């Protein structure tokens, strides 16, 4: 009897062990968790909450994928990416501006070709505006997915304009008349902060485009062929300098931050500011119903297409060194789907390149009109600092501060740009 009881106990133990072994030996492919690193450039709490919510929702739907998020600000992320791209410790999905900024990752074999994924998921591909996809294209292949699309506009105080009988200027001469009228009436025309010279480069982006013929500019912006000898580049610098020399900017431009000049506009200390479409919500929050906007005025004598708009998409690339390409692309698809684009528009007021995300039902009137201006433009002049080689940009942009200070002439600046452009030609494969 004791033997029987012992045998029963033994068999029970073996059965439990067997069941445990069976459970532990089940395939783990569905439960094994992989980690992908996601780097974006919006650490501010009012923006980062959006990304945190999207990531949390994605991981809930995909428990086998862990997304680790890092957010680094606008300027620091440029240096961080430069360093990371020289290592094997790259984020799987990372922020990038379009144009040359993205292209350099392609040339250095750090960006995954997304063309096969877009071709496979035609619904995803067809949901994205061509104007958003094209600036992330290189040699006919897609390497980035746009997340936002922006245009640059002058935002002005309508009460100040109406009081003086001023209308939106369409040409540069009309623009100068508006600025002079404001100044003569004791109003500082433009709030402008250039402590970080990307702000000045946004002016120059549009001016270069308006003065220089499109084929010439594209040749010069290509690091393999750039020369920058066209007289239009000097004219663009002269026009930019004249705004400052005539006293139309605030004092201390080079020691003022962009956000501070915006605050001056909200406090009605200046008549206008030059801002991106994504900033329109902030303008309306601070100066509700008392503003309107217009694009950089035309320069009839310029050789460029006057119907272009300064602006560009920005978005995300997938590292070519990722160990988890399928999971990284799956997250990128989720991040840029229609539902999250709608959420982006409604929660942050940012312009999305996903077709239909900005509409009259879900978007404020000013955002709808801004997107319409982008859609009606014949092309986009991409941000100069992201559309030219980094070595050229590192000479061009700081010199805008020298130009404002009066320590360098347009001719001197372009001579330096031409010199470094020649050096870059010999370096780029």
Is the separation of the CB atoms in 281 and 347 below 8 Å? no
Q: What is the pTM of this model?
A: 0.86
Contacts by 169-178, CB closer than 8 A, 24 or more apart: 169/294, 169/297, 170/294, 170/297, 170/298, 171/297, 171/298, 171/299, 171/300, 172/239, 172/297, 172/298, 172/299, 174/297, 175/297
Instruction: Assess if residue 14 is contained within a domain.
Output: no
Q: Give residue 15's pLDDT.
A: 43
Task: Tell me, yes or no, whether 339 and 418 share the same domain.
Answer: no
5-47 confidence digits (pLDDT tens): 444 444 444 444 444 444 433 333 455 899 999 999 999 999 9
Q: Give residue 360's pLDDT.
A: 92
Task: Tell me how long the chain is.
Answer: 429
Q: Give residue 75's pLDDT.
A: 83
Task: Tell me, yes or no, whether 115 and 142 share the same domain.
Answer: yes
Q: Give residue 74's pLDDT.
A: 85
Task: Tell me, yes or no, whether 260 and 403 share the same domain.
Answer: yes
Task: Tell me, yes or no, whether 173 and 119 share the same domain.
Answer: no
Task: Tell me, yes or no, whether 179 and 279 share the same domain.
Answer: yes
Q: Domain range spanning residue 122?
A: 34-149+313-371
Give the domain-ending residue among 351, 371, 391.
371
State the Cα–Cα distance between residues 98 and 90, nearest whole angstrom. 19
Task: Tell me, yes or no, whether 69 and 166 share the same domain.
Answer: no
Strands (E), 171-300: 188-191, 270-276, 291-294
Q: Which helix (H) or strand (E) holds 352?
A: none
Q: Give residue 362's pLDDT.
A: 87
* DSSP single-letter state for residue 60: H
Domains in the chain: how many in total? Answer: 2
State the Cα–Cα distance between residues 299 and 238, nearest whole angstrom. 13
Q: Give residue 312's pLDDT.
A: 95
Closest CA to 82 of 58, 63, 108: 108
CATH code, domain carrying 213: 3.40.190.10
Tens place of pLDDT per residue across the chain (429 aa): 444 444 444 444 444 444 444 443 333 345 589 999 999 999 999 999 999 999 999 999 999 999 999 999 988 999 999 899 889 899 999 999 999 999 999 999 999 999 999 999 999 999 999 999 999 999 999 999 999 999 999 999 999 999 999 999 999 999 999 999 999 999 999 999 999 999 999 999 999 999 999 999 999 999 999 999 999 999 999 999 999 999 999 999 999 999 999 999 999 999 999 999 999 999 999 999 999 999 999 999 999 999 999 999 999 999 999 999 999 999 999 999 999 999 999 999 999 999 999 999 989 999 999 999 999 999 999 999 999 999 999 999 999 999 999 999 999 999 999 999 999 999 886
Q: Give residue 31's pLDDT.
A: 59
State the Cα–Cα distance between residues 181 and 166, nearest whole angstrom. 9
Task: Tell me, yes or no, whether 71 and 205 share the same domain.
Answer: no
Q: Give residue 429's pLDDT.
A: 66
């Amino acid at each position: 009897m004791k033997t029987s009881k012992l045998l029963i106990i033994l068999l029970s133990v073996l059965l439990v062990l067997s069941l445990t072994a069976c459970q532990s030996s089940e395939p783990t492919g569905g439960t094994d968790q992989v980690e992908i690193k996601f780097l974006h450039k919006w650490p501010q709490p009012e923006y980062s909450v959006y990304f945190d919510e999207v990531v949390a929702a994605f991981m809930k739907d995909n428990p086998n994928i862990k997304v680790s998020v890092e957010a680094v600000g606008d300027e620091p992320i440029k240096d961080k990416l430069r360093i990371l791209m020289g290592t094997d410790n790259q984020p799987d999905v990372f922020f990038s501006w379009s144009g040359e900024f993205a292209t350099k990752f392609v040339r250095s074999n750090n960006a995954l070709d997304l063309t096969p994924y877009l071709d496979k998921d035609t619904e995803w591909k067809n949901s994205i505006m061509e104007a958003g996809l094209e600036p992330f294209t290189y040699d006919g292949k897609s390497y980035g997915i746009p997340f936002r699309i922006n245009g640059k506009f002058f935002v002005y105080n309508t009460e100040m304009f109406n009081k003086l009988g001023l209308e939106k200027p369409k040409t540069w001469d009309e623009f100068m008349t508006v600025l002079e009228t404001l100044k003569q009436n004791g109003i500082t025309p433009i709030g402008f902060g250039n402590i970080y010279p990307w702000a000045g480069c946004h002016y120059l982006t549009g001016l270069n485009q308006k003065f220089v013929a499109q084929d010439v500019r594209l040749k010069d912006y290509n690091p393999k062929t750039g020369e920058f000898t066209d007289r239009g580049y000097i004219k663009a610098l002269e026009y930019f300098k004249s705004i400052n020399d005539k006293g139309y900017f605030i004092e201390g431009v080079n020691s003022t931050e962009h956000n501070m000049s915006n605050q001056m506009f909200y406090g009605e200390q200046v008549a206008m500011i030059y801002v991106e479409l994504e900033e329109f919500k902030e303008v309306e929050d601070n100066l509700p119903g008392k503003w309107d906007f217009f694009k950089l005025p035309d320069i009839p004598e310029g050789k460029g297409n006057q119907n272009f708009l300064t602006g560009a998409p920005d978005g995300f690339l997938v590292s070519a060194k990722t160990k988890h390409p399928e999971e990284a692309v799956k997250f990128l698809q989720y991040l840029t789907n229609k539902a999250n684009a709608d959420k982006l528009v409604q929660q942050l007021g940012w312009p999305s390149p996903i077709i239909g995300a900005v509409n009259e039902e879900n978007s404020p009137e000013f955002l709808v009109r801004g997107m319409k201006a982008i859609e009606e433009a014949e092309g986009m002049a991409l941000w100069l600092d992201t559309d030219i080689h980094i070595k050229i940009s590192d000479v061009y942009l700081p010199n805008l501060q020298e130009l404002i200070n009066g320590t360098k002439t347009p001719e001197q600046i372009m001579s330096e740009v031409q010199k470094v452009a020649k050096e870059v030609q010999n370096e780029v494969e």
